[in-house]
Homo-oligomer: A and B are copies of this chain.
Amino acid sequence: MFSAMRSRHASLLSLSRSALKTTTPALHANRISIRMTHKKALTLESINPAVLDVQYAVRGELALKADKYMHQLEDGDKSLPFDKVVTANIGNPQQKGLNQRPITYWRQVISLLENPMLMEEHLDVIKTIYPADVIRRAQSLHKEIGSVGAYTHSKGVLQIRQRVAKFIEKRDGYPSDPEMIFLTAGASAGVSQILGLALKPGDGAMIPIPQYPLYTATLSYIHGKPIPYYLNEDAEWSTNTAALREGVAKAKQDGTPIKALVVINPGNPTGACLTREAMEDVVRLCYEESILLLADEVYQRNIFNNDTKPFISFKEVVKSMDKDIADSVELVSFHSISKGVSGECGRRGGYFELCNIEPDVVDQIYKMASVTLCPPVTGQVGVDLLVNPPVEGDESYEQWKEETSLTHENLASRSKYMQERFSQLPNMSCQPADGAMYLFPRIDIPEKAIKEAEKRGKAPDVMYTLDLLDATGICAVAGSGFGQEPGTFHMRVTALCPGVEEYVDKIEKFHKDWIRKYE
Protein backbone atom coordinates (compact mmCIF):
# COMPACT_ATOMS: atom_id res chain seq x y z
CA MET A 1 0.00 0.00 0.00
CA PHE A 2 2.76 2.41 0.90
CA SER A 3 4.65 1.88 -2.30
CA ALA A 4 1.46 2.87 -4.11
CA MET A 5 1.26 6.00 -1.97
CA ARG A 6 4.86 6.77 -2.73
CA SER A 7 4.43 6.61 -6.44
CA ARG A 8 1.25 8.67 -6.29
CA HIS A 9 3.22 11.21 -4.38
CA ALA A 10 6.11 11.14 -6.83
CA SER A 11 3.80 11.75 -9.74
CA LEU A 12 2.16 14.69 -7.97
CA LEU A 13 5.58 16.12 -7.33
CA SER A 14 6.73 15.83 -10.89
CA LEU A 15 3.42 17.29 -11.99
CA SER A 16 3.86 20.42 -9.93
CA ARG A 17 7.44 20.75 -11.04
CA SER A 18 6.58 20.55 -14.69
CA ALA A 19 3.62 22.90 -14.39
CA LEU A 20 4.07 25.93 -16.60
CA LYS A 21 3.30 29.22 -14.94
CA THR A 22 4.09 32.06 -17.28
CA THR A 23 3.65 35.55 -15.96
CA THR A 24 4.93 38.97 -16.84
CA PRO A 25 7.51 40.68 -14.66
CA ALA A 26 10.75 39.15 -13.57
CA LEU A 27 10.02 39.19 -9.83
CA HIS A 28 6.95 37.06 -10.19
CA ALA A 29 8.66 34.57 -12.49
CA ASN A 30 11.50 34.36 -10.06
CA ARG A 31 9.10 33.60 -7.25
CA ILE A 32 7.52 30.79 -9.15
CA SER A 33 10.83 29.25 -9.96
CA ILE A 34 11.73 29.36 -6.28
CA ARG A 35 8.40 27.83 -5.35
CA MET A 36 8.76 25.08 -7.85
CA THR A 37 12.23 24.14 -6.74
CA HIS A 38 11.68 24.47 -2.99
CA LYS A 39 12.37 21.11 -1.44
CA LYS A 40 10.07 19.98 1.37
CA ALA A 41 11.71 18.85 4.59
CA LEU A 42 9.11 16.15 5.21
CA THR A 43 8.05 13.78 2.44
CA LEU A 44 7.25 10.10 2.50
CA GLU A 45 10.80 9.54 1.29
CA SER A 46 12.48 11.71 3.91
CA ILE A 47 10.63 10.88 7.14
CA ASN A 48 11.47 8.01 9.48
CA PRO A 49 10.83 4.92 7.32
CA ALA A 50 9.78 2.96 10.40
CA VAL A 51 6.67 5.16 10.53
CA LEU A 52 5.64 4.04 7.05
CA ASP A 53 5.78 0.44 8.21
CA VAL A 54 3.40 1.03 11.11
CA GLN A 55 -0.03 -0.44 10.52
CA TYR A 56 -3.03 0.06 12.77
CA ALA A 57 -6.18 -1.37 11.26
CA VAL A 58 -8.45 -0.69 14.24
CA ARG A 59 -8.58 2.97 13.23
CA GLY A 60 -7.73 2.65 9.53
CA GLU A 61 -9.64 2.87 6.23
CA LEU A 62 -12.74 1.27 7.68
CA ALA A 63 -12.93 3.67 10.61
CA LEU A 64 -12.50 6.64 8.27
CA LYS A 65 -15.34 5.40 6.07
CA ALA A 66 -17.53 4.87 9.13
CA ASP A 67 -16.76 8.43 10.20
CA LYS A 68 -17.84 9.68 6.81
CA TYR A 69 -21.15 7.79 7.01
CA MET A 70 -21.73 9.14 10.50
CA HIS A 71 -21.32 12.71 9.26
CA GLN A 72 -23.63 11.99 6.31
CA LEU A 73 -26.34 10.71 8.65
CA GLU A 74 -25.90 13.70 10.97
CA ASP A 75 -26.34 15.97 7.96
CA GLY A 76 -29.69 14.33 7.26
CA ASP A 77 -28.58 12.18 4.32
CA LYS A 78 -31.32 9.59 3.67
CA SER A 79 -29.58 7.79 0.81
CA LEU A 80 -27.77 5.25 2.99
CA PRO A 81 -29.31 1.81 3.58
CA PHE A 82 -29.02 2.26 7.37
CA ASP A 83 -29.96 4.94 9.86
CA LYS A 84 -27.06 4.59 12.29
CA VAL A 85 -23.43 3.57 12.33
CA VAL A 86 -22.58 0.90 14.89
CA THR A 87 -18.94 1.18 15.87
CA ALA A 88 -18.07 -2.39 16.78
CA ASN A 89 -14.46 -1.77 15.78
CA ILE A 90 -13.02 -0.36 18.99
CA GLY A 91 -13.40 -1.28 22.62
CA ASN A 92 -14.84 2.05 23.66
CA PRO A 93 -17.55 1.19 26.18
CA GLN A 94 -18.77 4.69 26.98
CA GLN A 95 -18.92 5.84 23.38
CA LYS A 96 -22.06 7.65 22.23
CA GLY A 97 -24.61 5.10 21.04
CA LEU A 98 -23.13 2.29 23.15
CA ASN A 99 -24.22 3.84 26.39
CA GLN A 100 -22.28 1.89 28.97
CA ARG A 101 -22.80 4.25 31.84
CA PRO A 102 -19.79 5.29 33.90
CA ILE A 103 -19.72 3.92 37.43
CA THR A 104 -21.48 6.55 39.55
CA TYR A 105 -19.06 6.18 42.46
CA TRP A 106 -16.06 6.93 40.21
CA ARG A 107 -17.55 10.03 38.76
CA GLN A 108 -18.76 11.37 42.08
CA VAL A 109 -15.32 11.00 43.66
CA ILE A 110 -13.53 12.52 40.68
CA SER A 111 -15.95 15.45 40.41
CA LEU A 112 -15.04 16.40 44.00
CA LEU A 113 -11.31 16.12 43.30
CA GLU A 114 -11.77 18.27 40.21
CA ASN A 115 -13.42 20.97 42.25
CA PRO A 116 -12.36 20.61 45.90
CA MET A 117 -14.27 23.77 46.70
CA LEU A 118 -17.35 21.56 46.62
CA MET A 119 -15.93 19.88 49.73
CA GLU A 120 -14.47 22.99 51.27
CA GLU A 121 -17.20 25.58 50.78
CA HIS A 122 -20.31 23.62 49.85
CA LEU A 123 -20.01 20.51 51.97
CA ASP A 124 -23.54 20.87 53.34
CA VAL A 125 -24.98 20.96 49.85
CA ILE A 126 -22.82 18.12 48.61
CA LYS A 127 -23.84 15.98 51.57
CA THR A 128 -27.40 16.12 50.34
CA ILE A 129 -26.53 14.63 46.95
CA TYR A 130 -23.41 12.46 47.46
CA PRO A 131 -23.07 9.41 49.74
CA ALA A 132 -20.81 9.88 52.76
CA ASP A 133 -18.18 7.37 51.60
CA VAL A 134 -17.73 9.29 48.34
CA ILE A 135 -16.94 12.42 50.31
CA ARG A 136 -14.59 10.56 52.68
CA ARG A 137 -12.76 8.99 49.75
CA ALA A 138 -12.41 12.29 47.91
CA GLN A 139 -11.19 14.05 51.05
CA SER A 140 -8.59 11.42 51.68
CA LEU A 141 -7.38 11.38 48.05
CA HIS A 142 -7.30 15.17 48.03
CA LYS A 143 -5.09 15.13 51.10
CA GLU A 144 -2.71 12.68 49.47
CA ILE A 145 -2.59 14.16 45.98
CA GLY A 146 -3.32 17.84 46.37
CA SER A 147 -4.43 19.38 43.07
CA VAL A 148 -5.21 16.95 40.24
CA GLY A 149 -3.83 19.71 37.99
CA ALA A 150 -0.28 19.32 39.36
CA TYR A 151 2.40 16.92 38.17
CA THR A 152 2.83 13.95 40.46
CA HIS A 153 5.86 11.73 40.96
CA SER A 154 6.76 10.29 37.54
CA LYS A 155 5.86 6.78 38.72
CA GLY A 156 2.53 8.09 39.96
CA VAL A 157 1.23 9.01 43.42
CA LEU A 158 3.00 6.86 46.02
CA GLN A 159 -0.09 6.09 48.09
CA ILE A 160 -1.94 4.90 44.99
CA ARG A 161 0.98 2.65 44.09
CA GLN A 162 0.89 1.27 47.63
CA ARG A 163 -2.76 0.36 47.21
CA VAL A 164 -2.06 -1.21 43.80
CA ALA A 165 0.58 -3.36 45.51
CA LYS A 166 -1.97 -4.45 48.13
CA PHE A 167 -4.47 -5.30 45.37
CA ILE A 168 -1.87 -7.44 43.61
CA GLU A 169 -0.87 -9.16 46.85
CA LYS A 170 -4.48 -9.98 47.59
CA ARG A 171 -5.10 -11.19 44.04
CA ASP A 172 -2.01 -13.38 43.80
CA GLY A 173 -0.95 -14.25 47.32
CA TYR A 174 2.60 -13.00 46.74
CA PRO A 175 4.33 -9.80 47.87
CA SER A 176 4.28 -6.74 45.61
CA ASP A 177 6.57 -3.71 45.95
CA PRO A 178 5.07 -0.24 45.29
CA GLU A 179 8.46 0.86 43.93
CA MET A 180 8.10 -1.74 41.16
CA ILE A 181 4.74 -0.30 40.15
CA PHE A 182 4.54 2.46 37.56
CA LEU A 183 1.25 4.18 36.84
CA THR A 184 0.78 4.90 33.13
CA ALA A 185 -1.41 6.75 30.64
CA GLY A 186 -3.24 3.51 29.84
CA ALA A 187 -1.67 0.15 29.08
CA SER A 188 -0.66 1.21 25.55
CA ALA A 189 1.68 3.89 26.87
CA GLY A 190 3.27 1.37 29.23
CA VAL A 191 3.73 -1.22 26.49
CA SER A 192 5.46 1.32 24.23
CA GLN A 193 7.73 2.40 27.08
CA ILE A 194 8.80 -1.14 27.91
CA LEU A 195 9.23 -2.39 24.34
CA GLY A 196 11.11 0.77 23.39
CA LEU A 197 13.46 0.30 26.32
CA ALA A 198 13.95 -3.46 26.07
CA LEU A 199 14.64 -3.87 22.37
CA LYS A 200 17.69 -2.80 20.46
CA PRO A 201 16.93 -2.09 16.79
CA GLY A 202 16.74 -5.49 15.10
CA ASP A 203 15.78 -7.38 18.27
CA GLY A 204 12.68 -9.52 18.14
CA ALA A 205 9.56 -9.84 20.28
CA MET A 206 7.27 -12.86 20.10
CA ILE A 207 3.67 -11.87 19.63
CA PRO A 208 0.54 -14.00 19.43
CA ILE A 209 -1.30 -14.23 16.15
CA PRO A 210 -3.99 -12.97 16.19
CA GLN A 211 -2.84 -10.02 18.32
CA TYR A 212 -3.91 -6.53 19.23
CA PRO A 213 -2.13 -4.43 16.57
CA LEU A 214 -0.55 -2.09 19.13
CA TYR A 215 2.23 -4.66 19.35
CA THR A 216 3.16 -4.82 15.69
CA ALA A 217 2.71 -1.06 15.36
CA THR A 218 5.06 -0.39 18.28
CA LEU A 219 7.61 -2.90 17.02
CA SER A 220 7.63 -1.28 13.58
CA TYR A 221 8.18 2.12 15.12
CA ILE A 222 11.11 1.02 17.30
CA HIS A 223 12.78 -0.98 14.51
CA GLY A 224 11.99 -4.25 16.29
CA LYS A 225 10.97 -7.51 14.64
CA PRO A 226 7.72 -9.30 15.42
CA ILE A 227 8.19 -13.06 15.82
CA PRO A 228 4.71 -14.53 15.42
CA TYR A 229 3.41 -17.55 17.30
CA TYR A 230 0.03 -18.84 16.29
CA LEU A 231 -2.79 -19.36 18.76
CA ASN A 232 -4.74 -22.56 18.33
CA GLU A 233 -8.24 -21.65 17.15
CA ASP A 234 -9.55 -25.19 17.55
CA ALA A 235 -8.45 -25.22 21.20
CA GLU A 236 -10.35 -22.03 22.01
CA TRP A 237 -7.44 -19.88 20.91
CA SER A 238 -5.00 -21.22 23.49
CA THR A 239 -1.25 -20.80 23.25
CA ASN A 240 0.52 -24.03 22.54
CA THR A 241 4.04 -25.06 23.26
CA ALA A 242 4.77 -26.42 19.80
CA ALA A 243 3.87 -23.11 18.13
CA LEU A 244 5.88 -21.15 20.68
CA ARG A 245 8.98 -23.32 20.24
CA GLU A 246 8.58 -23.13 16.49
CA GLY A 247 8.65 -19.33 16.75
CA VAL A 248 11.82 -19.49 18.84
CA ALA A 249 13.48 -21.89 16.42
CA LYS A 250 12.62 -19.74 13.45
CA ALA A 251 13.95 -16.58 15.08
CA LYS A 252 17.20 -18.35 15.93
CA GLN A 253 17.48 -19.57 12.39
CA ASP A 254 17.01 -15.98 11.16
CA GLY A 255 19.57 -14.72 13.66
CA THR A 256 16.99 -12.53 15.44
CA PRO A 257 17.69 -12.15 19.17
CA ILE A 258 14.45 -12.75 21.08
CA LYS A 259 14.16 -10.10 23.72
CA ALA A 260 10.51 -10.30 24.75
CA LEU A 261 7.40 -12.45 24.55
CA VAL A 262 3.93 -10.91 24.64
CA VAL A 263 0.90 -12.74 25.96
CA ILE A 264 -2.53 -11.14 25.95
CA ASN A 265 -4.64 -12.84 28.60
CA PRO A 266 -7.63 -12.72 28.46
CA GLY A 267 -7.05 -12.56 24.74
CA ASN A 268 -7.68 -9.69 22.35
CA PRO A 269 -9.19 -10.31 19.82
CA THR A 270 -9.82 -13.92 20.88
CA GLY A 271 -11.43 -13.59 24.32
CA ALA A 272 -9.54 -16.70 25.49
CA CYS A 273 -8.43 -17.25 29.11
CA LEU A 274 -5.27 -19.31 29.39
CA THR A 275 -5.07 -22.35 31.64
CA ARG A 276 -2.38 -22.56 34.30
CA GLU A 277 -0.65 -25.31 32.33
CA ALA A 278 -0.45 -23.22 29.18
CA MET A 279 0.89 -20.28 31.23
CA GLU A 280 3.53 -22.44 32.89
CA ASP A 281 4.73 -23.55 29.48
CA VAL A 282 5.16 -19.91 28.46
CA VAL A 283 7.02 -19.06 31.67
CA ARG A 284 9.30 -22.07 31.30
CA LEU A 285 10.18 -21.03 27.78
CA CYS A 286 11.00 -17.49 28.96
CA TYR A 287 13.17 -18.96 31.68
CA GLU A 288 15.08 -21.28 29.37
CA GLU A 289 15.60 -18.71 26.68
CA SER A 290 16.08 -15.64 28.92
CA ILE A 291 13.13 -13.78 27.44
CA LEU A 292 11.30 -10.89 29.08
CA LEU A 293 7.63 -11.80 29.53
CA LEU A 294 5.09 -9.07 28.85
CA ALA A 295 1.67 -9.94 30.22
CA ASP A 296 -1.13 -7.78 28.82
CA GLU A 297 -3.82 -8.44 31.42
CA VAL A 298 -6.09 -5.48 30.80
CA TYR A 299 -9.19 -7.67 30.54
CA GLN A 300 -8.60 -9.46 33.85
CA ARG A 301 -11.90 -8.21 35.28
CA ASN A 302 -13.95 -9.18 32.22
CA ILE A 303 -14.25 -12.91 32.92
CA PHE A 304 -17.36 -14.82 31.88
CA ASN A 305 -16.75 -18.35 33.18
CA ASN A 306 -15.05 -17.82 36.47
CA ASP A 307 -15.62 -21.41 37.67
CA THR A 308 -14.24 -23.23 34.67
CA LYS A 309 -11.88 -20.67 33.16
CA PRO A 310 -10.82 -18.16 35.81
CA PHE A 311 -8.27 -15.43 35.20
CA ILE A 312 -4.85 -16.30 36.61
CA SER A 313 -2.18 -13.64 36.61
CA PHE A 314 1.26 -14.37 35.21
CA LYS A 315 2.77 -12.93 38.36
CA GLU A 316 1.04 -15.64 40.36
CA VAL A 317 2.11 -18.36 37.94
CA VAL A 318 5.74 -17.20 37.91
CA LYS A 319 5.86 -16.94 41.70
CA SER A 320 4.24 -20.32 42.22
CA MET A 321 6.78 -22.18 40.09
CA ASP A 322 10.16 -23.61 40.98
CA LYS A 323 12.23 -21.13 42.98
CA ASP A 324 14.80 -20.73 40.19
CA ILE A 325 12.06 -19.67 37.87
CA ALA A 326 10.12 -17.66 40.44
CA ASP A 327 13.17 -15.60 41.29
CA SER A 328 14.49 -15.01 37.81
CA VAL A 329 11.86 -14.81 35.07
CA GLU A 330 11.55 -11.16 34.16
CA LEU A 331 7.93 -10.11 33.94
CA VAL A 332 6.13 -6.87 33.24
CA SER A 333 2.36 -7.10 33.68
CA PHE A 334 -0.05 -4.44 32.48
CA HIS A 335 -3.46 -3.43 33.74
CA SER A 336 -5.79 -0.62 32.73
CA ILE A 337 -8.87 1.32 33.77
CA SER A 338 -10.07 1.29 30.16
CA LYS A 339 -11.26 -2.23 29.71
CA GLY A 340 -12.80 -3.58 32.86
CA VAL A 341 -16.36 -2.79 33.87
CA SER A 342 -15.05 0.71 34.45
CA GLY A 343 -14.48 1.33 30.72
CA GLU A 344 -12.80 4.68 31.40
CA CYS A 345 -10.53 4.63 28.35
CA GLY A 346 -10.77 8.36 27.59
CA ARG A 347 -9.19 9.10 30.97
CA ARG A 348 -5.94 7.25 30.09
CA GLY A 349 -4.98 5.32 33.18
CA GLY A 350 -3.27 2.06 33.98
CA TYR A 351 -0.19 0.58 35.57
CA PHE A 352 2.53 -1.97 35.07
CA GLU A 353 4.33 -4.04 37.66
CA LEU A 354 7.96 -5.08 37.27
CA CYS A 355 9.01 -8.45 38.58
CA ASN A 356 12.59 -9.78 38.68
CA ILE A 357 13.92 -6.82 36.68
CA GLU A 358 17.54 -5.84 37.41
CA PRO A 359 17.72 -2.71 39.63
CA ASP A 360 19.93 -0.93 37.07
CA VAL A 361 17.27 -1.49 34.44
CA VAL A 362 14.51 -0.33 36.80
CA ASP A 363 16.45 2.93 37.13
CA GLN A 364 16.42 3.32 33.35
CA ILE A 365 12.67 2.65 33.20
CA TYR A 366 12.18 5.32 35.84
CA LYS A 367 14.33 7.80 33.93
CA MET A 368 12.29 7.23 30.76
CA ALA A 369 9.04 7.62 32.71
CA SER A 370 10.33 10.92 34.04
CA VAL A 371 10.80 12.31 30.52
CA THR A 372 7.05 11.96 29.99
CA LEU A 373 6.62 13.83 33.33
CA CYS A 374 3.65 11.94 34.81
CA PRO A 375 0.51 10.05 33.82
CA PRO A 376 -2.77 12.04 33.78
CA VAL A 377 -3.69 12.50 37.42
CA THR A 378 -7.37 11.58 37.24
CA GLY A 379 -6.25 8.48 35.33
CA GLN A 380 -4.16 7.68 38.40
CA VAL A 381 -7.21 8.26 40.57
CA GLY A 382 -9.07 5.85 38.29
CA VAL A 383 -6.45 3.18 39.03
CA ASP A 384 -7.02 3.80 42.73
CA LEU A 385 -10.77 3.34 42.34
CA LEU A 386 -10.20 0.22 40.20
CA VAL A 387 -8.01 -1.54 42.76
CA ASN A 388 -9.84 -0.26 45.80
CA PRO A 389 -13.58 -0.15 45.12
CA PRO A 390 -16.30 0.38 47.76
CA VAL A 391 -16.69 -2.56 50.13
CA GLU A 392 -19.73 -4.03 51.84
CA GLY A 393 -20.98 -1.58 54.43
CA ASP A 394 -19.89 1.50 52.47
CA GLU A 395 -22.81 3.75 51.54
CA SER A 396 -22.01 3.40 47.84
CA TYR A 397 -21.49 -0.33 47.85
CA GLU A 398 -24.94 -1.48 46.73
CA GLN A 399 -25.11 0.91 43.81
CA TRP A 400 -21.53 0.14 42.77
CA LYS A 401 -22.25 -3.58 42.94
CA GLU A 402 -25.44 -3.24 40.93
CA GLU A 403 -23.87 -1.10 38.22
CA THR A 404 -20.73 -3.18 37.80
CA SER A 405 -22.65 -6.45 37.85
CA LEU A 406 -25.06 -5.20 35.22
CA THR A 407 -22.24 -4.15 32.88
CA HIS A 408 -20.49 -7.42 33.47
CA GLU A 409 -23.60 -9.52 32.84
CA ASN A 410 -24.45 -7.53 29.73
CA LEU A 411 -21.02 -8.24 28.31
CA ALA A 412 -21.16 -11.92 29.19
CA SER A 413 -24.67 -12.50 27.91
CA ARG A 414 -24.12 -10.56 24.67
CA SER A 415 -20.91 -12.44 24.06
CA LYS A 416 -22.66 -15.78 24.56
CA TYR A 417 -25.66 -14.78 22.44
CA MET A 418 -23.51 -13.54 19.58
CA GLN A 419 -21.26 -16.60 19.67
CA GLU A 420 -24.23 -18.97 19.53
CA ARG A 421 -25.85 -17.19 16.62
CA PHE A 422 -22.60 -16.76 14.68
CA SER A 423 -21.93 -20.49 15.10
CA GLN A 424 -25.21 -21.31 13.38
CA LEU A 425 -24.49 -19.28 10.26
CA PRO A 426 -23.35 -20.94 7.06
CA ASN A 427 -19.68 -20.31 6.29
CA MET A 428 -19.03 -19.00 9.79
CA SER A 429 -17.69 -20.55 12.97
CA CYS A 430 -17.02 -18.86 16.27
CA GLN A 431 -15.09 -19.91 19.36
CA PRO A 432 -16.75 -18.95 22.63
CA ALA A 433 -15.02 -16.21 24.62
CA ASP A 434 -13.98 -16.71 28.24
CA GLY A 435 -13.58 -13.00 28.76
CA ALA A 436 -12.54 -9.60 27.33
CA MET A 437 -15.13 -7.91 25.11
CA TYR A 438 -14.72 -9.25 21.60
CA LEU A 439 -15.55 -12.20 19.41
CA PHE A 440 -13.37 -13.29 16.54
CA PRO A 441 -15.59 -15.40 14.26
CA ARG A 442 -14.03 -17.20 11.33
CA ILE A 443 -15.51 -16.60 7.92
CA ASP A 444 -15.26 -19.25 5.27
CA ILE A 445 -14.94 -16.96 2.24
CA PRO A 446 -15.95 -18.50 -1.11
CA GLU A 447 -13.37 -18.71 -3.89
CA LYS A 448 -15.37 -16.30 -6.04
CA ALA A 449 -15.24 -13.64 -3.34
CA ILE A 450 -11.49 -14.12 -2.96
CA LYS A 451 -11.10 -13.48 -6.68
CA GLU A 452 -13.31 -10.40 -6.46
CA ALA A 453 -11.22 -9.08 -3.55
CA GLU A 454 -8.07 -9.58 -5.57
CA LYS A 455 -9.63 -7.51 -8.33
CA ARG A 456 -10.48 -4.76 -5.85
CA GLY A 457 -6.95 -4.85 -4.39
CA LYS A 458 -8.22 -5.75 -0.91
CA ALA A 459 -7.66 -8.65 1.44
CA PRO A 460 -10.79 -10.85 1.24
CA ASP A 461 -11.77 -10.21 4.86
CA VAL A 462 -11.20 -6.48 4.44
CA MET A 463 -13.61 -6.57 1.50
CA TYR A 464 -16.10 -8.45 3.71
CA THR A 465 -15.97 -5.85 6.48
CA LEU A 466 -16.17 -2.93 4.04
CA ASP A 467 -19.20 -4.52 2.39
CA LEU A 468 -20.70 -5.12 5.84
CA LEU A 469 -20.25 -1.45 6.67
CA ASP A 470 -21.73 -0.31 3.35
CA ALA A 471 -24.77 -2.54 3.78
CA THR A 472 -25.52 -2.25 7.49
CA GLY A 473 -23.55 0.62 9.04
CA ILE A 474 -21.81 -1.92 11.28
CA CYS A 475 -18.10 -1.29 11.64
CA ALA A 476 -16.05 -4.43 12.40
CA VAL A 477 -12.33 -5.00 11.87
CA ALA A 478 -11.02 -7.62 9.44
CA GLY A 479 -8.92 -10.46 10.86
CA SER A 480 -6.00 -9.43 8.71
CA GLY A 481 -5.63 -6.37 10.96
CA PHE A 482 -4.80 -8.72 13.84
CA GLY A 483 -3.06 -11.50 11.94
CA GLN A 484 -4.43 -15.00 11.28
CA GLU A 485 -3.29 -18.37 9.91
CA PRO A 486 -2.70 -17.91 6.17
CA GLY A 487 -5.78 -18.94 4.23
CA THR A 488 -8.18 -18.27 7.13
CA PHE A 489 -10.37 -15.18 7.45
CA HIS A 490 -11.95 -13.57 10.49
CA MET A 491 -13.42 -10.37 11.80
CA ARG A 492 -13.38 -8.85 15.27
CA VAL A 493 -16.63 -7.50 16.68
CA THR A 494 -17.12 -6.01 20.12
CA ALA A 495 -19.78 -7.24 22.50
CA LEU A 496 -20.52 -3.69 23.59
CA CYS A 497 -23.57 -2.93 21.47
CA PRO A 498 -26.91 -2.58 23.15
CA GLY A 499 -29.78 -4.05 21.11
CA VAL A 500 -27.65 -7.06 20.36
CA GLU A 501 -30.48 -8.99 18.72
CA GLU A 502 -31.10 -6.39 16.04
CA TYR A 503 -27.37 -6.04 15.57
CA VAL A 504 -26.82 -9.76 14.98
CA ASP A 505 -29.92 -9.88 12.76
CA LYS A 506 -28.29 -7.32 10.50
CA ILE A 507 -24.99 -9.18 10.40
CA GLU A 508 -26.84 -12.44 9.68
CA LYS A 509 -28.83 -10.98 6.82
CA PHE A 510 -25.76 -9.36 5.30
CA HIS A 511 -23.65 -12.47 5.75
CA LYS A 512 -26.17 -14.81 4.13
CA ASP A 513 -26.69 -12.45 1.16
CA TRP A 514 -22.95 -11.99 0.73
CA ILE A 515 -22.16 -15.69 0.85
CA ARG A 516 -25.00 -16.44 -1.56
CA LYS A 517 -23.71 -13.79 -3.93
CA TYR A 518 -20.27 -15.34 -4.14
CA GLU A 519 -21.08 -19.03 -3.85
Give me the interface of A with B, judged by CB distance under 8 Å. Answer: 5, 9, 31, 34-35, 38-44, 46-49, 51-52, 54, 56, 58-60, 67, 90, 92-96, 102, 104, 107-108, 110-112, 114-118, 122, 125, 128-129, 146-154, 185-186, 188-189, 196-201, 214, 217-218, 221-223, 259-260, 286-287, 290-292, 322-324, 327-328, 330, 342-348, 357-358, 360-361, 364, 367-368, 370-379
Contact = CB atoms under 8 A, between A and B. Distances in A.
A102 B111 CA distance: 14
- In the complex, the count of this chain's copies comes to 2
Contacts of A49: 200
A111 B149 CA distance: 13
A376 B185 contact: yes
Nearest to A56: B371
Contact of A114 (B107, B116, B198): B107
Contacts of A43: 358, 360-361
B373 A376 contact: no
Interface-central residue, A104, A154, A372, by most chain B CB under 10 Å: A372
B92 A104 contact: no
A330 B151 contact: no
A215 B79 CA distance: 51
A31 B323 contact: yes
Contact of A51 (B35, B128, B368): B368
A46 B148 contact: no
A199 B60 CA distance: 24
B347 A377 contact: yes
A54 B368 contact: yes
9 nearest CB pairs, A to B: A111-B115, A94-B150, A94-B147, A346-B377, A59-B370, A149-B344, A107-B115, A41-B292, A111-B114
A347 B149 contact: yes
Given A41-B286, A67-B153, A345-B373, 17 more contacts: A31-B324, A35-B324, A35-B328, A38-B324, A38-B328, A42-B292, A44-B364, A56-B370, A94-B150, A125-B128, A149-B343, A149-B347, A185-B185, A186-B373, A189-B372, A218-B371, A346-B377
